């Protein structure tokens, strides 16, 4: 599963489109009832994982990779992100270091050491003043955002390794045979490690480490610890990079931009050439790394997390040497997306298929996850979305289909509220009761057109009535009526099937049968007299003949 850092659980996706709505770059494809990440468009911010209400997303678990590294001959060193003080609140690095050694690590160091190296290089760049605008490159998600979506801003990236990379590279220089495992709050660090092989051999989240410790029944034991030379522990807070820098060049303006939406707007401003001579600390997560996806997943509170980091950090730098610029250089080539864009005619055709035939129909409600109907149409063209993701379209389609059924069924349908006021009446019902227009009766009491007794009975007893045949004397109609009370919607529905012609046919059959019986009676009586006369002349009994004729009469009566 290389290059797949956020995984989808197909059985859990409930079509809520929340992941699309929150994805800053809309790198989600929705099809066949499943939201799937488009890998080449993804910037690994983890928003879809954090916001999913159905637990349909999971982060790739790399514990087995870490265990495999520990099982091999090479020593394994852990690089622990400074945000550990917020995640394992109340713990110290010494206690975490001892726990990691119990898991099999040769040793553990703070990534803040690498942060100190990086911030020194930032200060050098500012003092040199050669780069008019400098964007920090500690956040891999920001780097991916620039590489994929704002390549025109690439010259302004610092092109300096992240603290994770600088620290792990330092460990490997000191221990050439060593393997390194970074542990932090970020999903995109997994992507960064694999994009720049050879520096970081495995990345674990704090959640993975916590689960590993639990498996081994290991508990962090707080210890007294205060190191004044630990200023770079501030890095995971908003403004933490700038707080550690000297900022000696007054020609630069020093800015903090956090939160992916703010980053996007700033990069647009930069691409338009509106900013210059400034150093921008940029991080994708609002509040920076202490509000990373693996921190938010545990419902951490940003203020207490910030205070935990501030309290734990010292006022001086770690005692580490600066690294040569060439050694810290990081290549970040442009990776612009090549997506086919529809022309205006194609967009118009897709909008029309969604029932949006004029600009007034484009509600831009955002329920599909896209900000505008036109953005949604583009996504449909690119195969990332389908027409049925539009809620107003589906609602209108369902209502239209429902109305079509109600208005074209031969059965009369009347819908009442609990006050027995008519809410809906279809054409067939109006025909039964000789009502010309729907507006003539809507909102009125049903007593105007029908006896309300049955509706009261159904509401009071809770027992629905099915196929009850009644005669509507006022309309000279026979109907079979079904009355249903829906308590959840507080509505009563009456369905009437006009059976007048059936009833009239039955009455005609009964009249004909009675006439046939009367004629038969007269014939039998006449025949009996004739038979009696013949029998008296012949001297024979009429008993058998009488029985036969009587049976015939009874048979006709039964019919």
Contact 156, 133 (CB under 8 A): yes
**Tokens coding 545:** 């003949």
Cα(289)–Cα(224) distance, integer angstroms: 25
Judgement on whether residues 314 and 202 belong to the same structural domain of the protein? yes
**Structure token digits, residue 435:** 């009502």
Q: Which of 332, 335, 402, 342 is nearest to 159 (CA)?
A: 332
Q: What is the pLDDT of residue 512?
A: 82
Q: How far is CA 438 from the centre of its chain?
A: 40
373 in the same domain as 488: no
CATH code of 35's domain:
3.30.70.20
The pair of three-digit structure tokens given for residue 377, joined into one six-digit string: 């149409």
- Tell me, what's the pLDDT at 385? 86
Are 200 and 73 found together in one domain? yes
The residues near 542 (Cβ < 8 Å, ≥ 6 apart) are 528, 531, 532, 535
Do both 105 and 147 map to the same domain? yes
Please report whether residue 312 resides in a domain.
Answer: yes
Domain for residue 503, yes or no? Answer: no
Query: In the listed set 328, 362, 380, which residue is the last one of a domain according to the structure?
Result: 328
Q: Is the domain of 324 the same as that of 349?
A: no
> Looking at the domain assignment, is residue 389 inside a domain?
yes
10-residue mean pLDDT series, the chain (559 residues): 78 83 92 86 93 89 96 97 92 93 97 97 95 96 97 96 97 96 96 95 96 94 80 95 95 96 96 93 95 77 89 91 93 88 90 84 82 89 83 66 79 93 92 90 92 94 93 92 92 93 84 80 79 66 62 62
DSSP 8-state assignment for residue 338: -
Angle at 295 between CA 298 and CA 208, to 5 degrees: 80
Whole-model pTM? 0.74
3-class DSSP state of 315: coil
In a domain, 364, yes or no: yes
Q: How many CB atoms lie within 10 A of CB 494?
A: 23
Query: Residues 152, 301: one domain?
Result: yes
- 297/348 Cα distance (integer angstroms): 41
**What value does the CA radius of gyration of the chain take, rounded to a whole number of Å?**
41
Distance of alpha carbon 486 from alpha carbon 446, whole angstroms:
17
Instruction: Tokens for 74, please give them.
Output: 């090479």
Quote the CA–CA distance of 317 and 117 in Å, as a whole number: 10
Same domain, 239 and 142: yes
Mark out the alpha helices in 182-232 (DSSP H runs).
Answer: 188-195, 206-215
48 and 102 together in one domain: no
Question: Which residue, chain included where needed, has tokens 């819908």?
Answer: 415
Q: What is the CATH number of the domain that holds 182?
A: 3.40.950.10
Q: Quote the pLDDT of residue 297.
A: 60
Instruction: Tell whether 290 and 389 lie within a shared domain.
Output: no
Say if 38 falls within a structural domain: yes
Reduced 3-state DSSP string for 489-547: CCEEEEEEEECHHHHHHHHHHHHHHHHHHHHHHHHHHHHHHHHHHHHHHHCCCCHHHHH
Q: Tell me, yes or no, whether 505 lies in a domain.
A: no
**Residue that terminates a domain, selected from 299, 328, 357:** 328
99 domain residue, yes or no: yes
Host domain of residue 430: 410-498
- Same-domain check for residues 70 and 175: yes
Q: From CA 244, how far away is CA 235, in angstroms rounded? A: 8
pLDDT for the residue 159 = 96
Residues 526 and 384 placed together within one structural domain of the fold: no
Written as one string, the DSSP assignment of 251-291 is: TSEEEEEESHHHHHHHHHHHHTT---SEEEEEESSTTGGGG
In a 10 Å sphere around its CB, with 0-12 CB exposed, 13-18 middle and 19+ buried, how is residue 458 labelled? Answer: middle
Q: Tell me, yes or no, whether 182 and 268 share the same domain.
A: yes
- CA dist., res. 435 & res. 428, Å (int): 10
Q: How many degrees, rounded to 5, is the angle at CA 347 between CA 341 and CA 349?
A: 135
Q: How many domains is the chain partitioned into structurally?
A: 5
Last residue of a domain, one of 43, 60, 77: 60
């Amino acid at each position: 599963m290389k290059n797949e850092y956020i995984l989808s659980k197909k059985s859990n996706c409930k079509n809520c489109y929340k992941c699309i709505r929150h994805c800053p770059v809309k790198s989600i494809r929705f099809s066949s009832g499943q939201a799937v990440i488009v890998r080449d468009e993804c910037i690994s911010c983890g928003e879809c994982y954090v916001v999913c209400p159905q637990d349909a997303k999971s982060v790739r678990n790399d514990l087995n990779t870490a265990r495999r590294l520990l099982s091999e001959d090479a020593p394994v060193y852990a690089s622990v992100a400074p945000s550990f003080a917020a995640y394992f609140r109340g713990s110290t690095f010494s206690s975490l270091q001892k726990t990691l050694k119990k898991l099999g690590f040769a040793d553990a160091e703070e990534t803040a050491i690498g942060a100190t190296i990086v911030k020194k290089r930032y200060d050098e760049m500012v003092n040199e003043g050669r780069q008019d605008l400098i964007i920090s490159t500690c956040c891999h998600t920001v780097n991916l955002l620039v590489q994929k979506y704002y390549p025109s801003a690439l010259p302004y990236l610092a092109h300096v390794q992240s603290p994770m990379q600088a620290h792990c590279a330092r460990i490997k220089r000191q221990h050439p045979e060593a393997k390194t495992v970074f542990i932090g709050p970020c999903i995109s660090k997994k992507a960064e490690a694999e994009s720049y092989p050879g520096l970081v051999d495995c990345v674990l989240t704090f959640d993975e480490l916590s689960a590993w410790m639990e498996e081994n029944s290991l508990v962090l034991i707080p210890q007294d610890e205060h190191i004044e030379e630990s200023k770079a522990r501030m890095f995971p807070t908003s403004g933490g990079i700038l707080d550690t820098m000297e900022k000696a060049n007054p020609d630069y303006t020093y800015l903090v931009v956090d939160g992916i939406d703010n980053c996007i707007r700033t990069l647009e401003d930069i691409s338009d050439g509106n900013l210059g001579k400034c150093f921008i600390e940029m991080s994708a997560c609002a509040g920076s790394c202490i509000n990373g996806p693996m921190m938010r997943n545990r419902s951490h509170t940003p203020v207490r997390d910030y205070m935990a980091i501030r309290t734990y950090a010292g006022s001086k730098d770690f005692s580490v040497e600066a690294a040569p610029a060439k050694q810290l250089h990081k290549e970040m080539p442009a990776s612009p997306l090549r997506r086919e864009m529809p022309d205006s005619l194609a967009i118009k055709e897709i909008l029309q298929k969604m029932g949006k035939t004029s600009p007034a129909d484009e509600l831009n409600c955002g329920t599909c996850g896209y900000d505008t109907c036109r953005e949604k149409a583009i996504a449909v063209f690119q195969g990332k979305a389908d027409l049925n993701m539009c809620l107003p379209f589906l609602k209108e389609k369902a209502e239209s289909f429902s109305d079509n059924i109600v208005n074209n069924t031969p059965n009369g349908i009347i819908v009442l509220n609990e006050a027995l006021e008519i809410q809906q009446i279809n054409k067939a019902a109006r025909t039964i009761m000789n009502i010309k227009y729907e507006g003539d009766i809507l909102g009125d009491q049903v007593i105007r057109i029908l006896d309300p007794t049955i509706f009261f009975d159904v509401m009071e007893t809770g027992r629905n009535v099915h196929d009850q045949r009644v005669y509507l004397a006022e309309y000279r109609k026979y109907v079979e009526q079904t009355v249903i009370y829906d308590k959840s919607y507080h509505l009563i529905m009456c369905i009437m099937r006009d059976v007048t012609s059936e009833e009239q046919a039955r009455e005609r059959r009964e009249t004909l049968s009675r006439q046939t019986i009367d004629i038969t009676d007269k014939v039998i009586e006449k025949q009996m007299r004739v038979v009696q006369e013949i029998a008296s002349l012949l001297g024979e009994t009429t008993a058998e003949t009488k029985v036969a004729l009587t049976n015939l009469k009874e048979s006709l009566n039964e019919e």
